[in-house]
Amino acid sequence: MKLGMAKADYPDIRGLEIFSDMGEEHFEGLMRGSYVQNFPPHVDLITEGDPSDFLHIVLDGTVELFAAWNGRETSMAAVRPVSTFILAASIKDAPYLMSARTLEKSRIALLPSQDVRAVFDLDPNFARSIVAELAQCYRSVVKNAKSLKLRTSLERLANYLLRQQKRAGGGATFELWTEKRRMASLLGMTPENLSRAFKSLQAYGVQVNGTTVTVHDQNDLEAFAKPSRLIDDYSS
């Protein structure tokens, strides 16, 4: 039974960039129909093709977006706090293009799409936040498509590692956040191939031990990967 969001969660949500500068009464209105839920790992949240009843926001944990066709499946993205997903479907009131599942124990806010659209019309600040988030999502997919079309799988992996390294603080050693099979799918390759790709990157000073990656020669790896602001900088 859905009883709306617990008041205790309000400050948490209110602090998110998307909600921080909207009017108080609009915020309250939006929260009344919304709720926060905890999910165990490996739970399907939405299925592609279904109508988009809720805008989802990952507060904690990790959610994987994936898609299937003709018996094949591919990982499209990993969503990490604090981000929305299926925003575009919510806004257009169109069916989901991707499925979603939790990868780890996750805390997720669910806002009725209808309410989101209504408040969008009422609150210009909220509208601006929504459109900024959507533009961000758009640009991420474009970057991903560029990576797929312009790079070999080895180049994609090299740049992926550089991005992960940066996200982990920039040190020479960092941890991979997920199983390699999932990484492989995300990068558009098979697990077998990913394993071999890691080996190939040894030539550029990359060492992998379980989930621990060490970049021994930053310059060498970067010279090979040739990271580009227009593909690999996910902050702009």
| Chain residues in the site for a copy of itself (CB under 8 A) | 48-49, 67-70, 72-74, 76, 87-89, 91-92, 94-95, 97-98, 120-121, 124, 127-128, 130-132, 134-139, 141-146, 148-151, 188, 226, 228-231, 236
Interacting partner of 166 out of a copy of itself, DNA, none (Cβ under 5 to 8 A depending on kind): none
Residue 154 binds what, of DNA, a copy of itself, none (CB under 5 to 8 Å, by partner type)? Answer: DNA
CB of 149 to DNA, least distance (A): 9
Cβ nearer to a copy of itself, comparing 23 with 173: 23
Is the peptide bond prior to 82 cis by the omega test (within 30 degrees of 0)? Answer: yes
Using only the alpha carbons of the chain, give its radius of gyration: 19
Report how far Cα 93 is from the mean position of its chain's Cα atoms: 21
Q: Between 50 and 179, whose beta carbon lies closer to DNA? A: 179
Q: Look-up: residue for tokens 């090979």?
A: 224
Contacts of 144 (CB under 8 A, 6+ apart): 77
- In the block, tokens 């940066």 appear at 166
If we measure between CA atoms, which residue out of 6, 177, 170, 149 comes closest to residue 77?
177
The entry of a copy of itself, DNA, none near residue 38 (CB within 5 to 8 angstroms by kind) is none
Binding site for DNA (CB under 7 A): 152-154, 179-181, 188-196, 198-199, 208, 210-211
Q: Whose Cβ is closer to a copy of itself: residue 102's or residue 129's?
A: 129
Residue 193, binding choice from DNA, a copy of itself, none, Cβ under 5 to 8 Å by partner class: DNA
Rounded-to-integer distance, Cα 8 and Cα 92, Å: 31
